[in-house]
Amino acid sequence: MYETQVQELSPEEAKRLYDQGVPFFDVREVEEYAQARIPGARLLPLSEFMARHGEIPKDRPVVLYCRTGNRSWQAAAWLGAQGWTNVYNLEGGIVRWYRAGLPVDTTPVEVGYAATPFQEVGPHEAAKLLEEALVVDVREAWEYGEGHVPGAVNIPLSTLPQRLSELPKDRPILLVCNSGNRSGVAADFLVQQGFPGDKVYNLEGGTYAWMGAGLPVER
C-alpha cells in the first residue's frame, strides 16, 4: 500500500479552492468525462496518469477527483510519493459534489485518449511471450501473493519509478495487473522513459483474463 498520506477535501472545502482558481483534474476515463464533469476541470485519465503526470503543477495546490474518490485517491497518493505536496483528493468524487448541489457541466464534449505507444496482447499471445519476456506484476504484494503469472516479478506500480534500473531495455517486458488498467499505466510510463514500445506489452484483461483462459498461476 502507499505510505503517503492523502489530503482529503469535502465538496464544500473543495469548492472554496475552486472559487480561488485552483486547478481541478479529472482522473476518470474519457467516456465518463464526456458525460459530465466539474466545470473547467482538465481530463487526465488514470490510464495515462503516470506518463502525463508532469502536466500537474508542483508549485501550487491542485484537486484530483473521479466518480467516488477511489481512483483519484490512488493518483494523489502516487503524486505524493513522487514529491508533490499540495495535492488534494475530492472525497466522494463528483457524485458527492453533485449531491452537495455544486455545479456540474453536462455539455457534450469530444475527447479522446493519446495513442497507445505499447503492445496490447491477450492471454494466449502473452503465454507465448513467457520464454523470452520479463513478466512484471504491478499489483500490490498481497495481490501478487494470491496468484500471479508464472515467473512474474512483483514491482508495485507505486514503486516503479524508483525501480526502473531493474528492467531491461533489450528484451520484451510483459506487464500484468488484475484487469489491465494499472499495467497499462505502467506500460505507457515505461515507453515515456525510453523503453522501446515494440518490446513493452500489456496483458489485456490482466490476471482475470489469464485465469479465465485456463492458464496456470503461481502462488
CA separation for the pair 124, 184 (Å, rounded)? 18
* b/e 2-39 (16+ beta carbons within 10 angstroms → b): bebebbebebeebbebbeeeebbbbbbbbebbbeebbe
Element spanning 7, H or E: strand 7-9
CA 49 – CA 80 distance, rounded (Å): 13
The verdict on whether 177 is a catalytic residue reads no
The grid coordinates listed for 169 are 531495455
Catalytic residue among 38, 41, 66, 87: 66
Strand arrangement of the beta sheet that strand 42-43 belongs to: 7-9, 87-90, 62-65, 24-26, 42-43
Going by C-alpha positions, the residue among 213, 198, 194, 151 that lies closest to residue 176 is: 151
From the list 160, 204, 134, the residue with the least C-alpha distance to 51 is: 160
CA distances from 143 to 36, 140, 161 (A): 33, 5, 20
Q: How far apart are CA 31 and CA 67, in angstroms?
A: 12
**Hey, which residues are catalytic here?**
66
